[in-house]
């Protein structure tokens, strides 16, 4: 059997390679790192997390928690490595990013049916089965080739941003406290409260801070789920107060009350020596980041080990181009996976790589495809991105809004979501061995 060509060894590409190989399908995995790097990547490892170390909620009352549980039950490589290198994060699944990426790389490189080819791919292969998982930072040459392949369609892009990192020892814990919102899970977040006066000064400085030049950047092209903090601030004085700085469910032990606003810090490594500013994706100039973010009382002497960066994300107009298996409608030997398909988020990218590889393995082995029902998170996501009735397509995180509602009323949102999750997992069991 000729190897399947996979372009890109991020989360989607690595997951797809693993799922094919474990089903006896040989794979040629192409990754341009370390020969060529992107502005957002810093290591040679596969599955590198560049925006956050968090894979978001791990609770079944949350749609991404359901998606992770589905992937776990089906033998996902990415979820196995994430669970094996998790760090405390309350009700979320966060990982030691470097240990996680090393684990993914080790698994991929050691599999006898996976051959890794280093170097940039600049053209779509003219024959054979292909999975393009080149990610939101697809190189200019390959992006150009993909545009030529889809001359009839819009080829879209937007921008997102990564948050800064600070050392734990530089956080002023006299002005901060450990807690998780509503005391759920373990108190793993560092919470940095601000008074109304402190927030007013911070907000004013943030709105007027100098931004780094990013070619082609406009606020309207930023994905809502990864919005730079300064863009949110410009939307109004209270926008941050109801967004990443919301104090709900957090009591300052010094006062016994909810602060006016709270900046949360989350572990970025297992040792807890580095913390991420939650929701502080930014493309401010680096000196401005130091000046403005140091106005947060707990961060007045913070040591920034990485400043926030802004980068381009590229994605397809998937409803016009791809089917429910992430295959190209006009050329089914080619599939796309990951954020380039318009699924947004690490877990969603993993799910797309998983589904696309399972379908391809079944096809090559003469088996019928696995049609994940819309009641499952994996199925709902694939059916959304391939839904031709979606006119103004935008990147999509998994959410319960794209999963069919229950046929009966349930009191309370969390209870309803829990029942939706249980229904999904039962539907998944009904599919048998995948």
> What backbone phi and psi angles, to 5 degrees, belong to 304?
-90, 115
Mean pLDDT in residue range 35-64: 85
Check residue 133 and give its pLDDT: 98
Residue 128 reports pLDDT greater than 70:
yes
List where CATH 3.50.50.60 sits in the chain: 4-159+313-430
* CATH architecture, domain 4-159+313-430: 3-Layer(bba) Sandwich (3.50)
Confidence bin at 425 (pLDDT 50/70/90): very high
- Per residue in 331-366, pLDDT (tens digit) is 999 999 999 999 988 999 999 999 999 999 999 999
DSSP result, 242-297 = GTTT--TT--BTTTTB--SEEEEEEE-STTS-EEEETT----B-HHHHHHHHTTSG
Confidence bin at 407 (pLDDT 50/70/90): very high
Check residue 215 and give its pLDDT: 52
- CA 105, CA 245: separation in Å to the nearest integer? 35
DSSP result, 92-149 = EEEE-HHHHHHHHHHHHHH-TTEEEEES---S--SSS-EEE---TT--HHHHHHHHHH
Answer yes or no: is 135 a known binding residue: no
DSSP letter for 352, please: H
Check residue 283 and give its pLDDT: 87
Q: For residue 373, give the nearest of 77, 70, 72 by alpha carbon.
A: 70
List where CATH 2.40.30 sits in the chain: 164-307
Answer yes or no: is 103 a known binding residue: no
- CA 13, CA 352: separation in Å to the nearest integer? 9
- CA 190, CA 63: separation in Å to the nearest integer? 25
Check residue 225 and give its pLDDT: 63
Mean pLDDT in residue range 82-107: 94
DSSP H or E stretch at residue 28: strand 27-31
Residue 380 reports pLDDT greater than 70:
yes
- Is the peptide bond preceding residue 64 cis, with omega within 30 degrees of 0? no
Higher pLDDT residue, 228 or 326? Answer: 326
Check residue 109 and give its pLDDT: 98
Do the Cβ atoms of 159 and 214 come closer than 8 Å?
yes
> Worst-scoring range by mean pLDDT, 61-70, 128-137, 210-219, 315-324?
210-219
Mean pLDDT in residue range 269-296: 92
Check residue 266 and give its pLDDT: 92
Answer yes or no: is 124 a known binding residue: no
Answer yes or no: is 9 a known binding residue: yes
Residue 324 reports pLDDT greater than 90:
yes
Answer yes or no: is 10 a known binding residue: yes
- Per residue in 269-279, pLDDT (tens digit) is 788 888 999 99
Share of the chain above pLDDT 70, in %: 96
Tallying the residues shown for the chain, one arrives at: 434
> What backbone phi and psi angles, to 5 degrees, belong to 322?
-120, 155
Higher pLDDT residue, 218 or 285? Answer: 285
- Topology of the domain covering 164-307: Elongation Factor Tu (Ef-tu); domain 3 (2.40.30)
Rounded to two decimals, the pTM is 0.78
Answer yes or no: is 8 a known binding residue: yes
Check residue 305 and give its pLDDT: 82
E strand residue ranges, 172-319 = 177-179, 189-194, 261-267, 274-277, 304-306, 309-316
Tokens for 238, please give them: 């209270």
Instruction: Report helix, strand or coil for 29.
Output: strand
- CA 19, CA 113: separation in Å to the nearest integer? 11
Confidence bin at 62 (pLDDT 50/70/90): very high
Do the Cβ atoms of 95 and 87 come closer than 8 Å?
yes
> Worst-scoring range by mean pLDDT, 58-62, 214-218, 308-312?
214-218
Mean pLDDT in residue range 205-214: 88
């Amino acid at each position: 059997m000729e190897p399947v060509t996979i372009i890109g060894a991020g989360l989607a590409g690595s997951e797809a390679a693993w799922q094919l190989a474990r089903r006896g399908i040989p794979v040629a995995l192409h990754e341009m790192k370390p020969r060529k790097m992107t502005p957002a990547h810093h290591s040679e490892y596969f599955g590198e997390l560049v925006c956050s170390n968090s894979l978001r909620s791990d609770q079944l009352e949350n749609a991404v928690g359901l998606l992770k549980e589905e992937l776990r039950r089906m033998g996902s490589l990415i979820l196995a490595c994430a669970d094996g290198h998790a760090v405390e994060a309350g009700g979320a699944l966060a990982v030691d990013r470097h240990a996680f990426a090393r684990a993914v790389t080790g698994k991929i490189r050691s599999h006898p049916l996976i051959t890794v080819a280093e170097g940039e791919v600049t053209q779509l292969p003219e024959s054979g089965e292909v999975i393009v998982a080149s990610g939101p930072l697809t190189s200019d040459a390959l992006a150009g080739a993909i545009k030529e392949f889809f001359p009839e369609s819009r080829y879209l892009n937007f921008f997102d941003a990564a948050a800064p990192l600070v050392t734990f020892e530089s956080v002023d814990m006299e002005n901060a406290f450990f807690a998780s919102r509503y005391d759920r899970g373990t108190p793993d977040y560092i919470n940095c409260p601000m008074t109304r006066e402190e927030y007013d000064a911070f907000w004013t400085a943030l709105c007027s801070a100098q931004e780094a030049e990013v070619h082609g950047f406009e606020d309207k092209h930023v994905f809502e789920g990864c919005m730079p903090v300064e863009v949110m601030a410009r939307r109004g004085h209270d926008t941050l107060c109801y967004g990443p700085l919301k104090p709900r469910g957090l009591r300052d032990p010094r006062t016994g009350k909810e602060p006016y606003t709270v900046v949360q810090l989350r572990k970025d490594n297992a040792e807890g020596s580095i913390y991420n500013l939650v929701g502080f994706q930014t493309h401010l100039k680096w000196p401005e980041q130091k000046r403005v973010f140091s106005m947060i009382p707990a961060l007045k002497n913070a040591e920034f080990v990485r400043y926030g960066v802004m980068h381009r994300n590229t994605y397809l107009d998937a409803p016009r181009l791809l089917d429910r298996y992430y295959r190209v409608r006009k050329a089914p030997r080619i599939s796309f996976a990951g954020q380039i398909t318009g699924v947004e988020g690490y877990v969603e990218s993993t799910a797309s790589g998983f589904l696309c590889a399972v379908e391809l393995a079944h096809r090559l082995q003469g088996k019928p495809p696995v049609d994940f029902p819309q009641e499952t998170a994996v199925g709902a996501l694939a059916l959304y991105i391939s839904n031709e009735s979606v006119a103004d397509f935008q990147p999509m995180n998994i959410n319960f809004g794209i999963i069919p509602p229950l046929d009966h009323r349930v009191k309370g949102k969390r209870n309803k979501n829990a029942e939706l999750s249980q229904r999904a997992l039962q539907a998944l069991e009904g599919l048998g061995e995948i």
